[in-house]
Structure 1
Amino acid sequence: MTAAKDKESKGPRRLNGEGSIYRYRNGWAGQVRMPDGTRPTVYGKTREDVREKITAALRAVQDGVPLVTTRMTVAQYLEQWVTIVLPSRVVAGTLAESTLESYSDQIRLHITPILGRHELRKLTTAHVRQWMTRKLTEPSSAGVAQRAVWEAEAARKAAEREKEKAPRLGRTSAIRKTPAVQQVRKPIKPLSARSVRYLLVILTAALNDAVQEELLTRNVASLVQPPRSADAPVRALTEEEARRVLAVALVDRMAALWLVLLALGLRKGEALALRWDALELDAGTVAVVRKQRRRKAGIDPETGRQRWELVEEEDLKTKGSKAVLVLPSMVVTMLRAHRQGQDAAKAELDAKAEKAVKDLAAFAGQHLPSGDAGAPTELEIIRWADPGLVFTTAVGRRIDPRNVNRWWDAVCERAQVGHTRVHDIRHTAATMLFRAGVDLNEIRALLRHTRLATTADIYVAVLEDVRRGTASSMDDILTRLQTPTKNTESEG
């Protein structure tokens, strides 16, 4: 009898991934082994109730649906949302990989540290409002953590320099200590209203999925009013600034890049991904079909730092971003010269590589016996990396977008122009065209905005300026109409 009861209490053999089922208070409880290593707990009145919930949970994970248990926290739910739901959308092509990376970083840095401890089903609008208030008023926690890392790295390097300067006498008393210069650092500011609005959008999207899957009854984040953010006005170069910048840019090593950005209003990633096969210089056209971006490439095992890589992808910002644009004749001439220079640099680099191989082979044949262990077995030959790219480094590699920012800062400094982003070249192109009288719809086509309203919203200040000019022109017309002509006076 006792053995039968023991057998009944143990129940049937556990399923794969089921975890353990055990008595809990007046019912039963069980744990599920999740792919990420977590073990959420489910509860039921009977053992079979728990077994069914575990089976449903495992099925939900296979279907890409987050599993919400009674005591699941916001942090646990968001972790599943980022690792299960969003990657499935990237594979399906409904979400960009860069968006997934951005959501993951923002959740890790700004949402989970404050809201993560709350139980998902007990999250309230008050919690969300308090979180927003802290983000808008307190120094950014991510900024504080990053500064701590920088200061620790600076202290480590300073200690290494002091150690190198120390005399090799074995006596620390012989080292004369100099007072350290205290570097004044800028205070760490809270997040801007625009950044907090973005965080609220992410949280709202995550909880919307929970509501659609009937894991929550309502989305508390959608009930919270976002902070008001005054969008920064478009920064475009004035005509005089553009003249000075162009004079410097046309003699710069990256002159073709600057001219393409200004003439076509391309985004930086789109310009860096341009390939010669997308250009028809005889026809004077270019097909914008891809972009370049930085992507996470894992953690460096030696330094523990995040590694990045440059990749091309055809997932542009909007559906209308892919287009064939007409090249101005000046840009065609500049690109022809740029290609000639690139071909010459490629030929020179390849010639140097071939000569180095021959010289090393000759040296090894004359001075090293056959089969000598000291003979080199491998040789790193530097050749042109990617002959298809239009804009490259000096050895044909992809250009890091951060270097483009530095080069543009140098151009602006030589032109004596205040701080301007590379993206502001796009705004400058649109602004100059609009002031020249080009139709707004034509500008929208050049910038490849999906809606005309988007173009109008971005350049509202320019539109207002042009409207004032239109009103002034109408004043001149009305004044002329009111002024009697000589014929009218003679008739009188």
Structure 2
Amino acid sequence: MTRARSPEGALTKRCTCTDPDTGKRLGSRCPKLRRPGGGWHPTHGVWGYQVELPIRPAQPRRQLRRSGFDSRDAATTELRHARALLDLADGDHHLAVQVGDLLHACRPGTPLPDRDTIAARIRAGVPASVPTTTGEYLTGWLQGRRGLAEKTTRGYSDHIRQYLIPHLGKVPIQSLRTGHIEAMFTAIGRQQDDIRAARGSTDPATRAKVRGVRPMKAASIQRLYATLRKALNDAVVRAKLIPTNPALGVELPAARRPKARVWTTKAVEHWQATGQRPSPVMVWMPAQAGRFLDRAERHDIVLYAMFLLILHRGLRRGEACGLRDHDVDLDAGYLTVVQQITTVGYTPVTRHVKSDAGDRVIPLGPKTIAVLRDYLEMRQRWQAVSGDEWPDSGLFFVRPDGQPWHPQTISDRFDHLIAKAGLPPVRLHDLRHCAATYLRHGGADMKEVQETLGHSTISLTSDTYTSVIIELERGTADAAADLIPRNDSAA
């Protein structure tokens, strides 16, 4: 006998001896495979096994056949491994066929799939017979996320589509290593360097190729990394597809929050000569802010009150757009920030403010209240003209036709006013920096600034919004020098 039956399948032994008459291999019929007493010869021939694999209806019989093992024990061990994989189906014929497909596709000489890995795929609802690429996993991971804000979902989707799938998509997730991820970030870094170089080129054609393309900053790289890290954490903890998260070993440059800088006279002169800003985050001097409000009052009275409110009280753009009538009590002198209108792509989305700290009550001063009352009177005139066509949006700030403002329109008109006024540029969001700086140097303590802006921690307020306005600090510039006694004449 050259075949030994086993509960898990059939063990076989064969050799490469040939029939002297026909020249054909004897295989399992070689008499040398056994000793004269009937036992297996210890060195002649090699061991193998075969297992019946599940089939679909009308599919022909198929087997997993493997040979080349030096010992019976080695063949038995792999045979049991194959049976353990098939047993994962636990009576589910469709799943058993999938596992059979996986085994049937194994090439001779390659190891069988790891049982724990296939079990994890089955628990995660991933087809057992198709190797899961990182791209397939990331796509399914995003589709399975629930309860995310639309903007968060959009951010995840952009990261997966634009970066993670192009760089990592074809790598089987079980084979994904730290080196793959480091190579991706290296390639992205080189691409961003190329974009910066092209933007600074003296060749107009080269600059034209990257027109409208902004290189990723360190903070954006960190957000991309956070998306991948979260997805792979879920692959470890929830889907159990991989034993560890390969992203945890990746080191990236720290994303530093840009320091706010003030548009001093020297800074303005440098900007006028070179077009360069000292920092991405810029704060107007009070006189510059006053010039902007004067310009807005004369040339954009429709949005003047909103710009003044943001500059006085530090609201975010979305918070100002989402402010409702019943959130504003001018008689009591306060407003409540509860919701915001932001954008996903270009689509406006109304949602709750981003944190518990953002849900806040903000007191209003007499000058702010007076401008808001004037705005409401103007809005009543708009409504009288529209009559029954006036929409009941419930929003405080609306267009002259009563419709909500698109957040991007607010920013565009803000930028237009600055350009026409000849003021040094700031972003609309930088009006929050202005408000915080003016509050702080006007006598408000850090806690009051934090609560007005709706920050969750006082350290965030301190690190981000307390730029020094040099002209307002000159009174204390000699404080240390004044304490040091000096002789009236040199020794």
TM-score normalised to the size of structure 2?
Answer: 0.66
- The answer to whether the 8 Å contact 1:73/1:119 transfers is yes
Q: Deviations over 1:177-210 (max 9, x none)?
A: xxxx989615356433322221111101111111
TM-superposed deviation, 1:472 = 3.1
Q: Deviations over 1:29-48 (max 9, x none)?
A: xxxxxxxxxxxxxx965655
- The answer to whether the 8 Å contact 2:257/2:464 transfers is no
Moved over 4 A (4+): 8-13, 20-24, 43-48, 51-57, 59-63, 139-143, 181-184, 463-471, 481-484
Residue of structure 2 in register with 1:490 after alignment: none
Residue of structure 2 in register with 1:333 after alignment: 370
Q: Residue type of the partner of 1:237?
A: W
Residue of structure 1 in register with 2:348 after alignment: 310
Q: Residue type of the partner of 1:120?
A: I
Give the SS at the match of 1:225.
Answer: coil
- The answer to whether the 8 Å contact 2:167/2:184 transfers is yes
- The answer to whether the 8 Å contact 1:136/1:192 transfers is no
2:341 to 276, 288, 292: 292
Residue of structure 1 in register with 2:109 after alignment: none
Equivalence map 1:373-452=2 (5 Å): 383-452=389-458
User: Structure 1 residues 12, 450: CA separation in 2 closer, same or farther (over 3 Å shift)?
Assistant: same
Q: Deviations over 1:50-102 (max 9, x none)?
A: 35687799x99999x57485721110110111000x2x2x1xxxx43321221
TM-superposed deviation, 1:130 = 0.8
- The answer to whether the 8 Å contact 1:349/1:395 transfers is yes
- The answer to whether the 8 Å contact 2:53/2:64 transfers is no
CA RMSD of aligned residues (A): 3.9
Matches of 2:248 and 2:222, distance apart in 1:
12
Q: Deviations over 1:444-483 (max 9, x none)?
A: 111111111111111365399999975632433x25x889
Q: Residue type of the partner of 1:133?
A: T
Give the SS at the match of 2:455.
Answer: coil
User: Structure 1 residues 293, 429: CA separation in 2 closer, same or farther (over 3 Å shift)?
Assistant: same
Equivalence map 1:36-55=2 (5 Å): 45=84, 47-50=86-89
Matches of 1:183 and 1:100, distance apart in 2:
34
Give the SS at the match of 2:208.
Answer: coil
- Structure with bigger gyration radius: 2
User: Structure 1 residues 437, 123: CA separation in 2 closer, same or farther (over 3 Å shift)?
Assistant: same
Matches of 2:205 and 2:372, distance apart in 1:
50
- The answer to whether the 8 Å contact 1:292/1:312 transfers is yes
More contact order relative to length (CA 8 Å, sep ≥ 6): 1
Q: Residue type of the partner of 2:396?
A: V
- The answer to whether the 8 Å contact 1:21/1:47 transfers is no
1:117 to 170, 184, 192: 170
Matches of 1:257 and 1:202, distance apart in 2:
35
- The answer to whether the 8 Å contact 2:55/2:61 transfers is no
1:97 to 125, 128, 150: 150
1:224 to 233, 238, 250: 250
User: Structure 1 residues 46, 440: CA separation in 2 closer, same or farther (over 3 Å shift)?
Assistant: closer
- The answer to whether the 8 Å contact 1:294/1:311 transfers is yes
Residue of structure 2 in register with 1:73 after alignment: 133
Q: Which moved more, 1:456-465 or 1:99-108?
A: 456-465
Q: Deviations over 1:97-133 (max 9, x none)?
A: 3212211121111111111110101111111111001
Matches of 2:168 and 2:329, distance apart in 1:
53
Q: Deviations over 1:420-467 (max 9, x none)?
A: 111001111001112223211111111111111111111365399999
User: Structure 1 residues 76, 399: CA separation in 2 closer, same or farther (over 3 Å shift)?
Assistant: same
Equivalence map 1:200-215=2 (5 Å): 200-213=225-238, 214-215=240-241
Aligned-pair identity (%): 28
TM-score normalised to the size of structure 1?
Answer: 0.65
Q: Deviations over 1:284-340 (max 9, x none)?
A: 1111000112247xxxxxxxxxxx5423212x2222100111011111111111111
User: Structure 1 residues 345, 82: CA separation in 2 closer, same or farther (over 3 Å shift)?
Assistant: same
2:189 to 128, 133, 136: 136
Give the SS at the match of 1:138.
Answer: helix
Q: Residue type of the partner of 1:394?
A: P
Give the SS at the match of 2:425.
Answer: coil
Q: Residue type of the partner of 1:103?
A: Y
- The answer to whether the 8 Å contact 1:208/1:219 transfers is yes
- The answer to whether the 8 Å contact 2:437/2:466 transfers is no
Matches of 1:107 and 1:47, distance apart in 2:
34
Residue of structure 2 in register with 1:17 after alignment: none
Give the SS at the match of 1:339.
Answer: helix
User: Structure 1 residues 242, 44: CA separation in 2 closer, same or farther (over 3 Å shift)?
Assistant: farther
Q: Which moved more, 1:321-330 or 1:383-392?
A: 383-392
Matches of 2:435 and 2:284, distance apart in 1:
9
Q: Tell me, which stretches of 5 or more residues in structure 2 are unaligned?
A: 1-51, 67-81, 99-118, 197-203, 261-281
Matches of 1:44 and 1:460, distance apart in 2:
68
- The answer to whether the 8 Å contact 1:279/1:286 transfers is yes
Matches of 1:182 and 1:141, distance apart in 2:
14
User: Structure 1 residues 249, 66: CA separation in 2 closer, same or farther (over 3 Å shift)?
Assistant: farther
Paired residue total: 366
- The answer to whether the 8 Å contact 2:314/2:433 transfers is yes
TM-superposed deviation, 1:250 = 2.8
Matches of 2:166 and 2:442, distance apart in 1:
51
Matches of 1:77 and 1:22, distance apart in 2:
32
TM-superposed deviation, 1:139 = 5.2
Matches of 2:357 and 2:228, distance apart in 1:
28
Matches of 2:311 and 2:466, distance apart in 1:
20
Question: Does 2:314 align with 1:261?
Answer: no
- The answer to whether the 8 Å contact 1:285/1:327 transfers is yes
Q: Residue type of the partner of 1:73?
A: T
User: Structure 1 residues 9, 191: CA separation in 2 closer, same or farther (over 3 Å shift)?
Assistant: closer
TM-superposed deviation, 1:233 = 2.2
